[in-house]
Chain A
Amino acid sequence: MLAHLEHVTKRYVKADGVLDLSLGFPAGEVVGVLGLNGSGKSTLLKLLAGLLQPTQGTVRVFGKAPRQARSQFVFLGEQDALWTWMTPRDAEKFMSGVYEDFDAARFNELLDVLDVPRRKTKAMSKGERGRLRLAMSLSRDVKLYLLDEPLAGIDLISREKILSSLVREWHTDETILLSTHEVAEAEGLFERVLLMKAGRIALDAQAEELRDEGKSVVDAFREVLS
């Protein structure tokens, strides 16, 4: 297993986090993390990224505590945290300085494919910033990508570009966990889907097996939520 959680519970003071999660993620799996707001999707990804500490239980990424494995995975968070003065060229310099595995050539290719304008981020739309942040994330050469809502709040064309870049850039030995509300748009990409409800895994299934039973991932999602 490339990453796993054992009996992990995360409690917040005011809200529920996740409850007694035990999950494993092998190499080379594209996993959709699905659920309503507050179901625990972000908490799960942040626990794996070491941005949150479990209240109980153990999280291991590449056999280590996530904080010790930081250089080995990418976490793309929901927050639109880019410096307003930054241009894609500045982002490239920044990433090259911080990450040894950052591939500048790949980054520039991705800027073209994702149609990211070469101007300061404060002059970009939310979709353009989202595409820039994805280009930064996918230009790192790691085996685990934790992408928290990369499709949230951006336009349809940006979402399509992001999905098709993910298909193109994914290598079959890499694991991607992607949380999203855009179940219908993204479901074809996922081999495995985790449906979360109130901090627990309500369904952990292979997407093609669900379809073999005549259910789309969207149908399964509705069933679990009803």
Chain B
Amino acid sequence: MSPTDRWILDMDAGPIYVQIGARVKEQLARGDLAPGEKLPSARDLAALLSVNPNTVAHAYERLEADGVIETKRGLGTFIREDAPVAGTKKETLEAAAVRYVNEARRLGVSLDEAADAVKEAWNAGSS
């Protein structure tokens, strides 16, 4: 995965600071980021994504308030050792479920049909 792939932003999908927060949580949930690992500085990430550094700083403040990351003076920003990995996994899975359910509703299928499609896809081993 290229560095920008992990951070894909969609300008139609809400505030950028919320999306950056979600991308960090997803990476933590999937194990692409581990507790204790260092994050790019707000300035570096802003340059990588061509977004305003204040926007990344805003995202980092929210993640810090959520207990996901911590800033160590002079050292940088890190995933907290006690970051809620299970919680971010649940959150990420639920967000994916909402996207799937929305699509199923647009298609007008029932819950049973939607659930069957999930089982089928799961058993087919599609990833």
Contacts and interface: CB of A to CB of B under 8 A. Distances in A.
A164 B47 contact: yes
Nearest to B12: A216
A219 B13 CA distance: 12
A211 B16 contact: yes
Contacts of B12: 211, 214-216, 219
B1 interface: no
A214 B11 CA distance: 9
B11 A208 contact: no
A209 to B, nearest CB: 8
Nearest to A162: B50
Contacts of B54: 172, 191
Interface residues of B, number: 19
B43 A168 contact: yes
Interface in A128-167: 160, 163-164, 167
Interface residues of A, number: 25
Contacts of B71: none
Contacts of A170: 53
Which one of A172, A211, A216 has the highest number of Cβ atoms from chain B below 10 Å of its Cβ?
A211
B53 A188 contact: no
Contacts of B48: 164
Given A170-B53, A191-B55, 18 more contacts: A160-B50, A163-B50, A164-B47, A164-B50, A167-B50, A168-B43, A168-B47, A172-B53, A172-B54, A184-B11, A185-B50, A187-B11, A189-B50, A189-B51, A189-B52, A212-B15, A216-B12, A218-B11
Interface of B: 9, 11-17, 43, 46-55
